[in-house]
Amino acid sequence: MSVELDATTYIHARPTTAHSYILPAVLGVLEGHFAGSAKRDVFDLGCGTGGAAATLAEKGYSVVGVDPSSDGIAKANVNYPGLRLKVGSAYDELSRDYGTFDAVISLEVVEHVYDPRAFTSTMYDLVKPGGIAVVSTPYHGYLKNLALAALGKMDDHFMPLKDHGHIKFWSRNTLGTLLLGAGFGSIRFEYVGRIPAFAKSMIAVAEKPL
């Protein structure tokens, strides 16, 4: 089977609706991690059109990012010409090309990934020892799934008819297992968008051991 990674197109380069409730939490995580450090380097894995990267750059972070969509990167380069955002994917040897970073973020990406173990392996290689990976994804808890089923919202939520839509549905247990398998430790979760049981997304923060 051949998967066309470059098929995603974007309407605009602004931060997505999901970023409105995800980015404040991510910024809080990063502020806590860097804690006044002069060097604040972040890699954005799956940067899309650069909206999140631009927000981080405005906050003083040095951001590098890649996305497999040439359309997304073209829009990012037009709208944020000062940012280092290029075409690339988690299936590339990114640490060889870009080095390592104190923090790697990947927001609302892992649910689209065909090979999540390759994805987290690449992420692990990008993180410096003692650094963190910050991964957000739509939350799939048992109570929320029951509510979606009861309200007839499963089709809208899972997007089965959208090319390159959501193909993996992560719980806290499965995402934690994935990150542990890549070598990360000290994993914690935050829930955003609603109360935790019905959260829109969850954010995993994982540390790379020293």
Q: Which residues pair with 87 in a beta bridge?
A: 67
- pLDDT single digits (tens) 69-86: 999 999 999 999 999 999
Going by DSSP bridges, is the β-strand pair 62-67/84-87 parallel, antiparallel, or unpaired?
parallel
pTM of this prediction?
A: 0.89
How high is the pLDDT of residue 14? 53
How high is the pLDDT of residue 24? 96
How high is the pLDDT of residue 145? 75
**CA pair distance 18, 176, nearest whole angstrom:** 21
How high is the pLDDT of residue 132? 98
Residues 145/126, Cβ–Cβ less than 8 Å? no
How high is the pLDDT of residue 19? 83
Residues 203/135, Cβ–Cβ less than 8 Å? yes
**Segments of the chain scoring below 70 in pLDDT:** 1-17, 164
Q: How many CB atoms lie within 10 A of CB 13?
A: 18
Backbone angles phi, psi at 131, to 5 degrees: -85, 180
**CA pair distance 83, 74, nearest whole angstrom:** 12
